[in-house]
A and B are shown apart, each in its own frame.
Chain A
Amino acid sequence: MTKLFTYIRESQIWKSIFRHGYPDTPRNRTLAVLSNVFLHLHPVKVRRSGIRLSYTWCMGGLTFFLFLILTLTGLLLMFYYRPTADKAYEDIFALREHVPIGVMREMHRWGAHLMVISVWLHMYRVFLTGSYKPPREFNWNVGVILLVLTLLLSFTGYLLPWDQLAVWAITVGTNMARATPFLGHEGPGAALVSFGGIDFIHAGDDVRFGLLAGRFVGEGALLRFYVLHCVGFPLIAATLMAVHFWRVRKDGGISGPL
């Protein structure tokens, strides 16, 4: 057995992938982190206080992990889901009727709920430890955008099952946009946006119409939400997460008393 392992580790294939020995010496431990693009988001050494669960609650890490689970399960769900008004409901329903012990939809739904909770708790922790103070002001702001993106991801996904819960929750949510000052047709100041007696803002062209691609939550909205949910927002979120983690490292690692 030992021989086999040695053989594998001495092989050209193994050595071409890992350029260091087993990480049990300081040198190899350093190399393990430095030569791996993913681990490289971590510094080589961290303050002991920063990795205590009682300090970070592991909530940022959990949020990221949930994002990975959601990407994976979401990808699998995309194989079985057609974003059209007459197929969407059927496809989701079929997932439940035809798949024994299916957990993909469950993992995706419960994971999405949990990600919202964990990102709130992460923000709460960062606030309570004052970790937004210099030099981490910018990363806090990246975080705020990630928070908004997490909510948007969850919100766009809410519509996709195309059942009563979905459609009406999105209707309630997007009805707010009608009242946007100046830009919504029931918003204060909208009547001022008119020129030569022609109103520029009405139910057929205000921000809500832009969100939903229509006057109510219909097929256009479904497609729009689907594209944003599966491609647009995840891409932006993933990019910003890379920035976020990089900045955690560059701002001196997880915060601690100086």
Chain B
Amino acid sequence: MHLALATLLGGGGAPVHDGPIAAGLKNFSNWLTEPTRYSVASILAVVGILYFRKFFAQVWVITAFFALSTAYFVFAFQDPNFNAIITKPDNVPIVILFASVIFFTWLALRRAVINDERTKRGEPTLEGELAKQKVFTWPDLVYTELICLILFTAGMLVWSILITAPIEEPAATARTPNPSKAPWYFLGLQELLVYFDPWLAGVVLPSFIVVGLCAIPYLDLNPKGNGYYTFEERPFAIAFFWVGFLLFWVSFVILGTFLRGPNWSFFGPFEYWDLHKLEPMVNVDLSTYFWVELLDKPRPDNAFVREAPGIVALLGYFLVLPPLFGKTVMKKMVEEMGMVRFNVFMHLFLWFVLIPVKMGLRWTVNLKYFIGMPEYFFNV
């Protein structure tokens, strides 16, 4: 069944000989999706879309986006490598994730833009107009639910009949598949393993995500924007969540699913998953930079002396920055939130910021660890 679908959508068979335009497009896609460029491009996209939100909120923009994406997919399906990764049955949901996240982000942005304009003109928001009317749960709500339910079940059935759930070889603890991937929804965390050790990427950061989510209602004291879409009444909150959810979570899941192959090396969407592709690892610890490059000495033997620069830097980051900001640029915030809230917020926020900081340092100066104490499994 699944094969039938793949042929239906085209491709999957004999290799196609690309013309110059097709080859150019493929090479460009492979080039752009390289993790550094991919991440930088995503950041620029988020900032750009928020800044030019009036433009992006238009209906034709999203229509054009989906039309172009569809065209691109049809084109890309002809390529055996692209086809192989996209039509893997378990990857279909990730395509759905991609499309639905983009669509709903656009929808929310559109309503936010409309609401912000209405508020400026002194009119009620889209939701505000309807909120005054009350309707009976039966039939209005119950029927909406029922219709959603039926349509949805039909869709699920069609999907289930068309695509058979896969099953691989029986479990064999002696044979490690390459790549070994966590379930797709944890691939964002697996991507962080490139930059952080397991105790951070796998334990501490996920715990902070859960704690941070729980803390949101107690840290965001802005009373505005409750019950309607808006951007201008809570720009920081929205931008923050966009970065956290869209970039560090969804886009990394997509990266991990489609662009990470054997040995967790990067593979462009049109690239063959070659087991022997090696990426040179030349990452350097902060302690090496400090002792060897800066002071021109050998690294001291005592781990704590050796790692002193990193320890000082991180202690400064986590212990000096919050009071410093609290006394200066964020003075008003401290007054509004109180000391406890402010400190909780700052610590969560600094951890959040540490992720892009470390990524940036890795890309630019090949930084491996701020503090590297493998003796104690303590690497940051």
The answer for the CA separation of A191 and B377 in the assembled complex, in Å, is: 9
Residues in B with CB closer than 8 Å to A54 are 107, 111
B320 near A: Cβ within 8 Å? no
Q: Is B69 an interface residue (CB 8 A)?
A: no
* A121: interface (CB < 8 Å): yes
B301 within 8 A of A: no
| Nearest A residue (CB) for B202 | A176
Q: How far is B245's CA from A114's CA once the two chains are assembled, in angstroms? A: 17
Cβ-neighbour of A257 out of B128, B138, B210 (below 8 A): B128
Task: Name the segment of B4-12, B162-170, B348-356, B362-370 touching the other chain.
Answer: B162-170
Complex Cα–Cα for A54 and B127 (A):
10
Binding-face segment, A5-13, A104-112, A223-231, A232-240: A104-112
In the complex, whether A211 has a CB less than 8 A from a CB of chain B is no
With A106-B159, A176-B203 already in contact, the answer to whether A129 and B227 are too (CB < 8 A) is yes
Contacts of B21 in A (CB 8 A): none
List of A residues within 8 angstroms of B153 by Cβ: 69
- How many whole Å from A20's CB to the nearest CB in chain B? 10
Cα A128 to Cα B135 in complex, Å, equals 24
Question: A242: CB under 8 A from chain B?
Answer: no
**For A164, what are the chain B residues with a Cβ–Cβ distance below 8 Å?**
168-172, 175, 177
| Cα distance A179–B220 in the bound complex, in angstroms | 32
Say which one of B40-48, B96-104, B283-291 lies at the interface with A.
B96-104
A162 within 8 Å of B by Cβ? yes
| Min distance, Cβ A255 to any Cβ of chain B, angstroms | 4
Q: Which of A58, A111, A168, A179 contacts B156 (CB 8 A)?
A: A111
Roughly how many angstroms separate A217 CA and B165 CA in the complex, as a whole number?
Answer: 23
The answer on a CB contact under 8 Å between B134 and A255 is: no
**Do residues B160 and A133 form an inter-chain contact, with CB atoms below 8 A?**
no
- The CB with the most chain A CB atoms within 10 A, among B112, B204, B213, B378, is that of B213
Q: Is the CB of A46 within 8 A of B190?
A: no
B160 CB to closest chain A CB (Å) equals 3
| Contact of A169 with B169 in the complex, beta carbons under 8 Å | no
Are A140 and B226 in touch, CB under 8 angstroms? no
Q: Does B302 contact A (CB under 8 A)?
A: no
A132 within 8 A of B: yes
Chain A residue with the shortest CB-CB distance to B211: A144
Q: Given A140-B216, A151-B185, A179-B377, are A107 and B156 neighbors across the interface (CB < 8 Å)?
A: yes
**Cβ of A23 < 8 Å from any Cβ of B?**
yes
Most A-side CB within 10 Å, residue of B135, B138, B177, B184: B138
Please name the residue on chain A nearest to B238 by beta carbon.
Answer: A128
One of B145, B173, B204 near A216 (C-beta < 8 A): B173
A178 to B377, alpha carbons, bound, how many Å?
11
B111: chain A residues within 8 A (beta carbon)? 54
CA distance A169 to B179 in the complex (A): 10
Whether B300 is near chain A, meaning CB under 8 Å from some CB there, is no
Closest partner residue, chain B, to A157 (CB atom): B183
Q: Which of A46-100 contact B (CB under 8 A)?
A: 46-55, 57-58, 61-62, 65, 69, 85, 89, 92-93, 96
- Smallest CB gap from B144: residue in A: A51
Is B66 part of the binding interface, using a Cβ–Cβ cutoff of 8 Å?
no
Given contacts A44-B137, A127-B241, A169-B183, contact A141 B173 (CB under 8 A): no
CB pair B203–A65 under 8 Å, yes or no, is: no
Which residue of chain B is the closest to A105 with respect to CB atoms?
A: B165
CA gap between A103 and B376 in the complex, in Å: 50
Chain B residue contacts of A46, Cβ below 8 A: 134-135, 137, 140-141
**CB pair A55 B199 closer than 8 Å:** no
Q: For A178, what are the chain B residues with a Cβ–Cβ distance below 8 Å?
A: 198
Residue B148 at the A interface, CB < 8 A? Answer: yes
Given A124-B245, A216-B173: A181 touches B148 (CB 8 Å cut-off):
no
Please determine whether B125 and A257 come into contact, CB atoms closer than 8 angstroms: yes
User: Given contacts A44-B136, A133-B220, A169-B181, could you give 5 more A-B pairs where the C-beta distance is less than 8 Å?
Assistant: A124-B105, A188-B377, A256-B130, A256-B131, A257-B226
Residue pairs across A and B with Cβ atoms less than 8 A apart, 12 shown, are A45-B135, A48-B131, A52-B130, A107-B156, A113-B184, A124-B105, A134-B223, A136-B217, A148-B210, A177-B203, A188-B377, A257-B124
